[in-house]
Copies of this chain bind each other. A is one copy, B any other.
Amino acid sequence: MANEIIYNPHVSVDCVVFGFDGEKLKVLLIERTIAENNELFNDKKLPGSIILADEDLDKAASRVLTELTGLKNIYLSQFRSFGGPDRTKNPRDILWLENTMQLKIGRIVTVAYVALIKIDRKIQFKSEIAQANWYDLNDVATMNLAFDHAEIINKGMQHIRHNLDIEPYLLFELLPRKFTITQLQSLYDTVHQTRSDVRNFRKKVSQWPHVVALDELEEGVAHRAARLYKYKK
């Protein structure tokens, strides 16, 4: 007899994966379909799942993200747990959980992780069990999300904003390997919710030793091509 997979049905992990498309912040969500009263109902959820009986939380988060999206070697950082007894009380969510997991489910405490990734690498979301897509962070407020996932995304963004004040280099996790100063500023202003001055921003960046100019320019734009930079070390 093969080893049976034993789950811990009381604890789950959820991954809030942020990306930046050059203009807006995106978050990675999984499509979910629920058969309800002979109708199919569609909504979205974060990549996440209950953990295995003897599994470390960080490892569980990586495993689940890979299983649901195909993404590997993503740096995930735990930021908060959510455990209100009501978070698993929506009948639609209970139905979906019990169908998917084949387990009776009570209250689940979830441990949430954030990750920042470069959206530009032509990501192929490869998973047999789920379909993942990027969604505008701004649209999340008006979308149908499973459980308390809207709140988790909000808290995740707050966490990122908080952390960027202390570790500004995190921004480069979201940018392509080669980027323009305009892209960097656009990202910077998006997450800080500011509108900084072009000259002051370039002055500031020019003191960042890890941002180095390349001998390359943008291509295929209908205006003066911008210089490309990379983040080094």
* CA–CA, A193 and B102, complex, Å: 52
CB–CB B107/A53 < 8 A: yes
When the two chains form their complex, are residues A57 and B78 in contact, meaning their CB atoms are under 8 A apart?
Answer: no
Number of copies: 2
Residues of B with C-beta under 8 A to A162: 166
A85-B51 Cα distance, complex, nearest whole Å: 11
Chain A residues touching B, range: 20 to 34
| Residue contact B57 to A84, C-beta cutoff 8 Å | yes
Instruction: Indicate if the CB atoms of A109 and B106 lie closer than 8 Å.
Output: no
Q: Any chain B CB within 8 A of the CB of A4?
A: no
A186 to B95, CA, bound (A): 56
Which has the most chain B C-beta neighbours within 10 Å: A82, A107, A166? A107
Q: Which of A24-61 contact B (CB under 8 A)?
A: 51, 53-57
A215 to B33, CA, bound (A): 67
Using CB atoms and an 8 Å cutoff, list the residues of chain A in contact with chain B.
8, 10-11, 51, 53-57, 78, 80-85, 106-107, 109, 111, 162, 165-166
